[in-house]
Amino acid sequence: MRAASEMNGTGGNVVVAMSGGVDSSVSAALLKEQGYQVTGVSLQLYDPIPKEAGCRIKTCCSLDDVMDAARVAKKLGIPFEVIDMRAEFKQVVIDYFIAEYAAGRTPNPCIRCNELIKFDLLLQKANAMGADMLATGHYARIARDNNGNGRLMTGCDPAKDQSYFLFTLSRKQLRHLLFPVGELEKSHVRRLAADYHLPVAQKHESQEICFIPDNDYVRFLESNGVARKPGEIVTDDGTVVGRHSGLHRYTVGQRKGLGIAWRHPLHVRALNSVKNQLVVGGRDELDTASLTVGGATWNVFPDLSEFRATCRIRYRHTPSPCRVVVLDENRFSVVFDTPQYAVTPGQAAVLYDGEYVLGGGWIE
């Protein structure tokens, strides 16, 4: 198989998901330059946050971003439209986010959005618009064989690789996707944006959750029905060492803000939603040797019930060598060569074979 950015100048029709940022804007410019018939599309995913609310302006998926995308499309001379997906986004991303926190898990809404909004609903929309392909500004690559079948690979820039967020992509979906900046480094993308004279060339990017004002997820959850239910803070042996103010206010690995005076620093080890207890322990107690994953998606279903791989348990996590045991099509377990810090239920565990994504799922 060959790894390629797929910019072969075929002249086909392609819809580019334009977020208003540098990466998707450059993707559109590159594809147009290569001879594709490009249409830009932005998604309206949530209601704008009123400026009078005093919240800091987002740089991802906001109304300002849609306007930036429109400006880029005008500069490139390509058609542009906005698709309203607020109802769908609320149902499959926002409601999921709230329910996961209420259940004592820490969700990843970006993966959920990619899976069910961008690469499902939007891909269907692109097809209905007569497009051969859908392109985004993700830093990832697709290796294709001579029949067009694809395998997901990491992006060439290790500091920007976003393959972790894309593990749910199926082989069928990959046949219809393009990641034009996947073989480029971020600095190169910035230079290209300047060369194309794009109005977003110097625009900052956001690492925050797009639909939460000021990234204050606690206030967001409590204003959306998650009750503040105080309970006990306990050690692993059941010793009560304090009181918490609601499990949704804490995350695994957290040390500050616990309000506990103890003989050594305590960190959050687990959120026990059944007993409404916050479990804490020393730093060395947060190292985990193994985990179990559910809701698995396989880019390539393994031939063996046990195999070697590397595993990421969060976006910025360095893939760690491990042994994988396939339990069934939907579940697998991971045994790390070296225990890993702060394994968090609700987050994704993604498996790699070198640069290739094998699959992933959700930590139980």
* Active site residue ranges: 113, 210
Q: Put the strands of the sheet holding 231-234 in their side by side order.
A: 240-244, 231-234, 277-281, 267-272
List strands edge to edge, sheet with 80-84.
80-84, 37-44, 13-17, 133-135, 177-178
C-alpha–C-alpha distance, residues 1 and 98, integer Å: 41
Cross-strand bridge partners of residue 140: 154
- Give the separation between CA 103 and CA 276, rounded to whole angstroms: 10
Considering only the C-alpha atoms of the chain, give the largest distance between any 2 of them, rounded to a whole number of Å: 68
Query: Helix 22-33 crosses helix 63-76 at what angle (to 10 degrees)?
Result: 20
Quote the DSSP letter at residue 313.
S
Please classify residue 305 by burial: count the beta carbons closer than 10 Å to its beta carbon, then call 0-12 exposed, 13-18 middle and 19+ buried.
exposed
